């Protein structure tokens, strides 16, 4: 028997805050400046949804550790500037949160410092305060299941009773690996077909999230 949903686990970037477009733009810029020309699509495939440590390792393998350190430092600086200037919640997200009555938490590849900035800038931090988890707390980032399992364990909920809201391929892969159901948000940079897979419902309007969670309560799938 499929368990009812007891916990909704949100990714942060691209699900709560509309920051992935900012991050992708900066990664493209840094690649051009530092010797690794990348398209937005290549950035989405290689970097989006992954931890800072994973992204650093990818750059270091290509350009060396010193350049990876510079890349990471510049990314943090440019990202912070852009967040202050232009970051907003994902379209429809505030309305969706207001309609969700189940317990919620955040589990992100980003650091706690980054989430304090992005969630704080958009007025969402207080909504999740005390229930925010970072990949820096576990051994392996997404697509490994460690972060989602850590969040569920801390929240006292069985993984099979969790649903994860994600917008990246590593994110939905991590949810599946954790034995959790997934709702793949395709309203951002990642194409819907990359999010599709077993145990996953793909949607492109965040306002539909509450009804999709209700649809999952009995194990039903809504497209």
Gap between the Cα atoms of 51 and 153, Å rounded: 20
HSE, side-chain direction, 13 A CA sphere, residue 76: 13
Cα→Cα distances 164→28, 81, 117, 142, Å: 28, 29, 22, 13
HSE, side-chain direction, 13 A CA sphere, residue 195: 27
CB-neighbour burial class of residue 198 (10 A; exposed 0-12, middle 13-18, buried 19+): exposed
Question: How many beta carbons lie within 10 A of that of residue 106, not counting itself?
Answer: 24
- 11 assigned to active site: yes
SS3 56: helix
Question: How many beta carbons lie within 10 A of that of residue 37, not counting itself?
Answer: 10
Residue 89 φ/ψ, nearest 5 degrees: -65, 155
Q: Which entry of 11, 13, 18, 146 is annotated as an active-site residue?
A: 11
* Eight-state DSSP code of residue 3: P
Residue 86 φ/ψ, nearest 5 degrees: -145, -5
* Eight-state DSSP code of residue 205: -
The set of catalytic residues is: 11
């Amino acid at each position: 028997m499929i368990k009812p949903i007891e916990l909704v686990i949100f990714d942060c970037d691209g699900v709560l805050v509309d920051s992935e477009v900012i991050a992708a733009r900066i990664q493209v810029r840094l690649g051009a400046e530092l010797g690794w020309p990348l398209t937005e699509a290549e950035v989405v495939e290689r970097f989006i949804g992954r931890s800072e440590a994973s992204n650093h390792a990818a750059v270091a393998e290509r350009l060396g550790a010193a350049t990876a350190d510079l890349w990471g430092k510049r990314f943090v600086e440019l990202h912070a500037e852009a967040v202050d200037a232009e970051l907003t919640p994902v379209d429809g997200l505030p309305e969706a949160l207001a309609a969700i009555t189940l317990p919620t938490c955040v589990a992100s590849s980003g650091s706690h410092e980054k989430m304090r900035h992005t969630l704080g800038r958009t007025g969402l931090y207080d909504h999740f305060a005390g229930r925010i988890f970072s990949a820096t707390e576990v051994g392996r980032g997404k697509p490994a299941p460690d972060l989602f399992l850590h969040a569920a364990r801390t929240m006292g909920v069985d993984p099979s009773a969790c649903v994860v809201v994600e917008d990246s391929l590593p994110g939905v892969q991590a949810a599946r690996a954790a034995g959790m159901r997934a709702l793949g948000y395709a309203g951002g940079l990642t194409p819907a077909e990359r999010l599709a897979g077993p145990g996953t419902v793909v949607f492109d309007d965040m306002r539909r999230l509450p009804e999709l969670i209700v649809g999952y309560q009995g194990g039903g799938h809504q497209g």
